[in-house]
Amino acid sequence: MAELAARVQELHHLLNKYSHEYYVQDNPSVPDSEYDKLLRELIDIENAHPEYKTEDSPTVRVGGEAQVTFNKVRHDTPMLSLGNAFNEEELRRFDARVREKAGKVEYMCELKIDGLAVSLKYEEGRFVQGLTRGDGTIGEDITANLRTIRAIPLRINKPLTFEVRGEAYMPKKSFEHLNQQKEEAGEQAFANPRNAAAGSLRQLDSKLASKRRLSVFLYSVNDFTNFHAESQSEALDELDELGFKTNQNRKRVADIEGVLEYIKYWTAHREALPYDIDGIVIKVNDLEEQDELGFTQKSPRWAIAYKFPAEEVVTKLLDIELSIGRTGVVTPTAVLEPVRVAGTTVSRASLHNEDLIHEKDIRIGDSVVIKKAGDIIPEVIRSLPERRPEGTETYHMPTHCPSCGHELVRLDGEVALRCINPKCPAQLVEGMIHFVSRQAMNIDGLGTKIIMQLYENEIIKDVGDLYYLTKDDLLPLERMGEKKADNLLKAIEDSKDNSLEHLLFGLGIRHLGVKASQVIAERFETMDRLFKVTEEELLEIHDIGDKLATSLITYLNNEDIIALIEKLRRKNVNMTYEGLKTTEIQTDSEFNGKTVVLTGKLHNMTRTEASKWLEAQGAKTTSSVTKNTDLVIAGEDAGSKLTKAEKLGTEVWSEEEFMEKQKEIENK
């Protein structure tokens, strides 16, 4: 048996080596037939001796048992999106903002891969979990599918515990091969490699995902504790050394002029790449300078994504349809003769409002130029009057709502027409769709089609009715089985425990966004208190303006809304703020206002738990040591951050000292 165990280890080594050569280095040393022969040998051994099969065996690349669903997992730190720039002027403004705060900086330019953002977690050098970006806060666990990507190492060459992030994508060859198979099978082909990659990673059967031949480029480390890097370029070099696949077309440049040259080159050469890119990512290279620049709520201040100019195409405008949003705004949409643009077939595009239609003189029957704004949302840019058929007429919006027949109005200072009938069916349905959305009540599985069916069958009339649904209500719906109904009812039940800010945002109060919902919920704590709030009290809050204050008071004084809240209360929907309050932050703590860096391995708590405790004490936790760092807490095997702290003369505590201080504070 010792000989067999040794052979298994040898096969692991050889298969991992050959896979890395082929999928990461693009330099195979053996033919495919040799790799396949060794893999077959390992599969046979594992089938005969299951005790030799490990989670990081090369055989997991072929996929395993199909999953029932994907579990939702909260990211240790949010996967933020990048701000966008669409031209040289916007890039120069970004550069000016950076230099104003950080002085002269060096930039790292990287190709923006058109794929799906993923997060990979490693423990003691072994790949243990992979997540999608999701909404940036919560992603889906797609570990089984990511294991099938041969460019992702299942074990790295150092026993490190950390998280690395990157972009999973489908190479152009894989995309062509997949669509050829689909066409031969009489199935609909994928529109573009990005959609194909996303669809592949969300296959419940990892064996199917394995056949899709995806790849990955890694581009960032979530926590630099175990890294020696002091810059983005050094971090990518370290990832290379650990066996990860990074994009080698990156370039370090001295200033914004170098950035523009890099963009100019890849704008001209992007089509020659064996994968799709949709822009260039520009990052301040120095990690200390990144830390000083910090973040907004949505994105880092030290990075930006330049998006390539959108492709423009000509097609015919067949009709103009109207949709009614949850706030009553009537939006015109162009119905187009289908045409391919930026990799997908487009048959509808935004026209925004009547003023814009008249300004661009767009008429039904015109030939029009369309593009995808930000390579995502199709919009009509202009008409081509020289191609206009005789007899076409200027377009005029209707005077009455196409959903309920109520007269449309244009409020002071607005360009949009609006239906102000609170009983308008289209608004009610859109409001319910908003209510169940991720940032509101987050009722998983309750999509647009189900809500439409429930409303059209008069099972629900408002969001309160969702909490009165029964299994008997759901089962007659199209494509609704026992299990799906049970899952949906559980998701509705779970949503009752959401903190107050989710309910506030879900109600769709005009001018009330996610951030303001959080601020108001934290300030007034309960729905009962909100019903008594005055406009003056709201205006005392820094983030609340006149329009929002007036809108909220008007909303809460509506008798129908009071009845709706009572309807929700009877079903035990939470009406209280459950989050951490700003007032609960210990402003008298000795940590208040201090910048703290955690480094090395902690034994008594996770780094995330330690960070949350410090933040509750009013501290700011960061990932790199700078001259502004007040304290470094060093666990086991603390590396370059500890060295840098000692060099800068920064105060350093051991984990034991940190734990003692915690006990001292908590026992006061």
Q: Do the bridges between strand 367-373 and strand 418-419 make them parallel or antiparallel, or are there none, so unpaired?
A: unpaired
The reported pLDDT for the residue numbered 585 is 57
Please state the domain extents for the chain: 2-62, 84-307, 313-389+396-409, 425-570, 585-666
Residue 565 DSSP SS3: helix
Identity (one letter) of the amino acid at 443?
I
pLDDT at residue 201, rounded to an integer: 87
Q: List C-alpha distances in Å: 55 to 120, 145, 154, 214, 243.
A: 15, 13, 8, 20, 18
Q: pLDDT at residue 377 above 70?
A: yes
Lowest mean pLDDT among 5-9, 165-169, 266-270: 5-9
Q: Three-state SS for 157?
A: coil
CATH class of 425-570: mainly alpha
> Cα(506)–Cα(512) distance, rounded to whole angstroms?
10
pLDDT at 131 over 60: yes
409: helix, coil or strand?
strand
The reported pLDDT for the residue numbered 197 is 87
Give residue 24's Cα distance to chain centre: 26
Amino acid at 129: Q
Identified catalytic residue from 17, 72, 112, 647: 112
pLDDT (average), residues 100-106: 93
Q: Are 494 and 444 in contact (CB under 8 A)?
A: no
Average pLDDT, the chain: 87
Reference 445, options 501, 489, 506, 476; nearest CA is 489
Measured torsion, CA atoms of residues 138, 139, 144, 145, in degrees rounded to the nearest 10: 180
Domain 84-307 of CATH type 3.30.470.30: yes
2-62: CATH number: 1.10.287.610
pLDDT for 48 equals 79
Cβ within 8 Å of residue 587, ≥6 positions away: 618
**By percentage, how much of the chain surpasses pLDDT 70?**
95
Categorize the per-residue pLDDT at 202 as very low, low, confident or very high, splitting at 50, 70 and 90: confident
| pLDDT over threshold 80, residue 297 | no
pLDDT in tens, 467-501: 999 999 999 998 898 999 999 999 999 999 999 99
Determine the pLDDT at residue 99: 94
pLDDT surpasses 60 at 228: yes
Residue range 554-591, pLDDT digits in tens: 989 988 899 999 999 999 999 999 876 655 555 667 88
pLDDT single digits (tens) 107-118: 999 999 999 999
pLDDT at 366: 94
Give the helix ranges, DSSP H, for 250-382: 256-269, 287-293, 354-359
Domain 313-389+396-409 bears CATH identifier 2.40.50.140: yes
pLDDT band for 294, please (50, 70, 90 cuts).
confident
- Give the residue, 282 or 539, on which the prediction is more confident: 282
pLDDT grade, residue 23 (50/70/90)?
A: low
Q: What are phi and psi of 74, to 5 degrees?
A: -80, 130
Q: Is the pTM of this model over 0.75?
A: no
Does residue 668 have an active-site annotation?
A: no
pLDDT category of residue 164 using cuts at 50, 70 and 90: very high
pLDDT of residue 583: 55
pLDDT in tens, 313-362: 999 999 999 999 888 889 899 999 998 887 678 899 988 888 889 989 99
Distance of CA 395 to the CA centre of its chain: 38
Same fold, 313-389+396-409 and 585-666: no
Q: Indicate the residue type of 304.
A: I
* Residues, the chain: 668
Tokens of 67: 């999953």
DSSP state of 153: -
**CATH of segment(s) 585-666:** 3.40.50.10190
Residue 595 pLDDT > 80, yes or no? yes
pLDDT tens, 56-65?
Answer: 787 766 655 5
Q: Is 251 helix (H, G, I), strand (E, B) or coil?
A: strand
Strands (E), 426-480: none
